[in-house]
């Protein structure tokens, strides 16, 4: 996030897209709803009539996989009507002429033909967003989990720069992280192409710094594999062993039938987790780890705030700290890792991580700090890009709409999108251990519009088979006002009716994120 969570309430306009915020981020959604009650203009752009849409001044429903088109449509109107921030564009950005040329094509009528959003709504929304003194963009995996996910995010950045909404209070482009420390995992180099703080592995200077700190030589300069690359490598036989920490790909990966064959093809698999997940049940070795309440350390949350985590309860059985497990394995493999505690690890992190260099446990004893925080005197950085961007000037990217990898046809006439429900978290590893939550949301369901159900002759609550080119599941039909004609929604939490047996494993070419949010399916009454 370029801005903070609290900063959302200071915006004049909030645009939420690709985020079912009330169910995915219920605490953060209260800031949005409170802002709307106080008079902030709320625009929700989502293929489903999600709960947040009821709080919105405007709800626009695009066809699945058409985000670039409607964003370009907004920018077309803003440029044509001279509503863009000329000073910001001239002084702080480059590439404007290329962007202008590309979005010329995206007239409101042209965008309506692609997205289904009316030309009038495109025009009025563009004016509302551009005329605001500050406007905040919030997005989540409804934007990223596409074959065009990277370009979707770049397009939102284009819109924010065009209107001068970066580097100011109440503005920004703000991704809402799907898990509590996913930001921190990325910050610490949990990506195949970077070390901590996004220092590239092919940067000789960065590698030299880490080699000195770790007392090693010849750190690899070649990026590793993404998670989706690993599954393909396991399937082809080029990847022989896999070590999975805190992830459950046998529910969360796309095209699960393919993923299952890939994992079965491995010579050796280790799973380190807090429960015996569906993936752990396939492992050769399972290493029991501490949960969040059993450990000391830090989390870095969605707004880049680094916060202390403190042990609250004792861990059961033979569970250990994740870092202790990894340290002991490294030591037995010939590289001694002897840390006395979590604080010692954090102190090492700050020596090699410029954005964390000024953060100490003492400084975050009571309140966390936002990175970048380069020195111990630095107050932290709640708002990014106030004076300049990381690369100097912001770069506009001229991007054209590309359709999803798979579209409906006569055999698979419906579109499927997936997501979460309020009562379960990710693959249900933790929440499905709670009887209360299971009572509230006991099983998988297929959300359908009343019109589609009537046309098919389906009644609410019947069991249906849902089929794609990759697999089939059986689940209960739920006629819902959230659903729109032609699109079905299935939550992905439930292993017994895993939505990801249906989803498409085609990935974004840059981020390698699968297209979870759109594929073609058909539906029929279960036998």
Q: Where are the domains of the chain?
A: 6-176, 182-370, 414-525
Half-sphere exposure of 255 (CA within 13 A, CB side): 19
**Quick check: 444 and 497 in contact, CB under 8 A?**
yes
Q: What is the pLDDT of residues 355-387, one digit of tens each?
A: 999 999 999 999 999 999 999 999 999 999 999
**Domain 6-176, CATH among 3.40.228.10, 3.40.190.10, 3.20.20.70, 3.40.50.300:** 3.40.228.10
Phi and psi for 290 in degrees, rounded to 5? Answer: -75, 150
Q: Which of 404, 490, 431, 487 is nearest to 67 (CA)?
A: 404
Q: Extract the tokens encoding 480.
A: 């819902």
Q: How far apart are the first and last CA of the chain?
A: 48
Helix (H) or strand (E) holding 342: helix 342-352
C-beta of residue 398 within 8 angstroms of C-beta of residue 102: yes
**pLDDT-based confidence at residue 230 (cuts at 50, 70, 90):** very high
Q: Which residues sit opposite 489 in a β-bridge?
A: 417, 447
At 441-463, the pLDDT tens digits run 999 999 999 999 999 999 999 99
Structure confidence at residue 125 as a pLDDT band (50, 70, 90) = very high
H or E, element range at 94: strand 93-94
**What pLDDT is recorded for position 527?**
83
Measured distance CA(129)–CA(146) in Å, rounded: 25
d(Cα 249, Cα 227) in Å, to the nearest integer?
9
Length of the chain measured in residues: 527
Cα separation of 453 and 485, whole Å? 9
DSSP codes joined into one string, 198-250? G-BTT-HHHHHHHHHHHT-S----S----HHHHHHHHHHTS--EEEEES--HH
pLDDT given for residue 244 in this prediction? 97
Paired residues of 67 in beta bridges? none
Domain 414-525 has CATH 2.40.40.20: yes
Closest CA to 18 of 137, 169, 158: 137
Q: Which residues of 417-427 are buried (b: 16+ CB within 10 A; e: fewer)?
A: bbbbbebbbbb
Best CA proximity match to 44, nearest among 34, 52, 33, 36: 52
Between the CA of residue 521 and those of 64, 253, 285, 409, 526, what are the distances in Å? 13, 18, 37, 9, 15
- Residue 484 in contact with residue 493, Cβ under 8 Å? no
**pLDDT tens per residue across span 149-179:** 999 999 999 999 999 999 999 999 999 998 8
The model's pTM: 0.94
Strand partners, 268: 241
Tokens 């890009």 belong to residue = 385
| Residue 178 confidence (pLDDT) | 82
Instruction: Compute φ and ψ for 342, nearest 5 degrees.
Output: -65, -35
Are 459 and 453 in contact, with CB atoms under 8 Å apart?
yes
Q: What is the pLDDT of residues 382-422, one digit of tens each?
A: 999 999 999 999 999 999 999 999 999 999 999 999 999 99
In the structure, what pLDDT confidence band is assigned to residue 518 with cuts at 50, 70 and 90? very high
Confidence of residue 470 (pLDDT cuts 50, 70, 90): very high
Q: What mean pLDDT value characterizes the chain?
A: 96
**From 95-99, 309-313, 406-410, 428-432, the region with the lowest mean pLDDT:** 428-432
Q: Check residue 180 and give its pLDDT.
A: 85
Could you tell me which of 408, 414, 523, 423 has the C-alpha nearest to residue 473? 523
Which residues, 6+ apart, have CB-to-CB distance to 415 below 8 Å? Answer: 63, 64, 408, 486, 487, 488, 518, 519, 520, 521
At 466, which helix (H) or strand (E)?
Answer: strand 463-467
Q: Which one, of 230, 70, 96, 243, lies nearest residue 152 by Cα?
A: 70
Q: What pLDDT sits at residue 106?
A: 98
- CATH number for the segment(s) 182-370: 3.40.50.740
Tokens 């450990």 locate to: 295
What average pLDDT does this structure show over 24-31? 95
Confidence band, pLDDT 50/70/90 cuts, at residue 15: very high
Q: From CA 444, how far away is CA 497, in angstroms rounded?
A: 6
Cα 80 from Cα 100, distance rounded (Å): 9
Name which of 32-46, 255-269, 393-407, 422-436 the model is least confident about.
422-436
Q: List pLDDT tens digits, range 309-333.
A: 999 999 999 999 999 999 999 999 9
Give the model confidence (pLDDT) of 173-216 as tens digits: 999 998 889 999 999 999 999 999 999 999 999 999 999 999 99
Give the chain's largest Cα–Cα span.
69
- Report how far residue 520's alpha carbon sits from residue 516's, in angstroms, rounded to the nearest whole number: 11
pLDDT for the residue numbered 179: 85
> Taking residues 477-505, what's their average pLDDT?
94
Q: Please name the helix (run of DSSP H) or strand (run of DSSP E) that holds residue 2, with its range, or none.
A: none
Q: How confident is the model at residue 482 (pLDDT cuts 50, 70, 90)?
A: very high
Q: Mean pLDDT over residues 116-136, rounded?
A: 98
What is the C-alpha to C-alpha distance for residues 162 and 505, in angstroms, rounded to an integer?
A: 34
Say if residue 476 is exposed, middle or buried (CB neighbours under 10 Å; 0-12, 13-18, 19+).
Answer: middle
Task: Specify the DSSP element, H or E, that contains 124.
Answer: helix 119-131
């Amino acid at each position: 996030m370029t801005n903070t969570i609290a900063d959302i309430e200071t915006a004049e306009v909030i645009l939420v897209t690709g985020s079912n915020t009330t169910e995915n981020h219920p605490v953060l959604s209260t800031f949005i709803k409170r802002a709307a009650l106080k008079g902030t203009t709320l625009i929700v752009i989502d293929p489903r009539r999600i709960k947040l849409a009821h709080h919105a001044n405007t709800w626009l429903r695009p066809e699945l996989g058409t985000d670039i088109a409607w964003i370009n449509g907004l920018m077309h109107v803003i440029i044509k009507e001279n509503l863009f921030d000329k000073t910001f564009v001239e002084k702080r950005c480059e590439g404007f002429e290329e962007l202008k040329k590309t979005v010329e094509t995206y007239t409101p009528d042209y965008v309506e033909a692609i997205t289904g959003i009316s030309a009038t709504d495109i025009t009025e929304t563009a004016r509302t967003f551009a005329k605001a003194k500050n406007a905040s963009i919030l997005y989540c995996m409804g934007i990223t989990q596409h074959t065009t996910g990277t370009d979707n995010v770049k397009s939102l950045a284009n819109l924010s720069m065009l209107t001068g909404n970066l580097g100011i209070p109440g503005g920004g482009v703000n991704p809402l992280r799907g898990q509590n420390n996913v930001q921190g995992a990325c910050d610490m180099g949990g990506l195949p192409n970077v070390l901590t703080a996004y220092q590239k592995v092919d940067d000789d200077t960065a590698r030299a710094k880490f080699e000195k700190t770790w007392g090693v030589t010849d750190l690899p300069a070649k990026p590793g594999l993404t998670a989706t690359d690993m599954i393909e490598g396991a399937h082809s036989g080029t990847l022989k062993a896999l070590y999975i920490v805190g992830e459950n790909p046998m529910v969360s990966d796309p095209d699960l039938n393919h993923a299952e064959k890939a994992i079965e093809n491995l010579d050796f698999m280790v799973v380190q987790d807090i429960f015996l997940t569906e993936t752990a049940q396939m492992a050769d070795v399972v290493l029991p780890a501490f949960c969040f309440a059993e450990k000391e350390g830090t989390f870095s949350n969605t707004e880049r705030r680094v916060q202390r985590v403190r042990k609250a309860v004792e861990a059961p059985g033979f569970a250990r700290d994740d870092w202790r497990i990894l340290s002991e394995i490294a030591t037995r493999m010939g590289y001694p890792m002897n840390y006395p505690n979590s604080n010692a690890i954090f102190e090492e992190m700050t020596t090699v991580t410029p954005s964390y260099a000024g953060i100490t446990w003492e400084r975050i004893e009571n309140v966390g700090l936002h990175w970048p925080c380069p020195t111990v005197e630095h107050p932290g950085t709640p708002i990014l890009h106030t004076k300049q961007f990381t690369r100097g000037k912001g770069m506009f990217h001229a991007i054209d709409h590309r359709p999803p990898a798979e579209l409906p046809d006569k055999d698979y006439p419906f579109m499927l999108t997936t997501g979460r429900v309020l009562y379960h978290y990710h693959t249900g590893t933790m929440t499905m251990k709670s009887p209360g939550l299971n009572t509230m949301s006991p099983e998988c369901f297929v959300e359908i519009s009343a019109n589609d159900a009537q046309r098919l002759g389906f009644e609410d609550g019947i069991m249906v088979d849902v089929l794609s080119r990759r697999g089939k599941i059986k689940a209960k039909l739920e006629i819902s006002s959230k659903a729109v004609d032609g699109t079905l929604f299935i939550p992905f939490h439930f292993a017994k009716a895993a939505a990801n047996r249906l989803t498409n494993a085609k990935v974004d070419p840059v981020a390698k994120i699968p297209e979870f949010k759109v594929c073609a399916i058909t539906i029929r009454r279960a036998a």
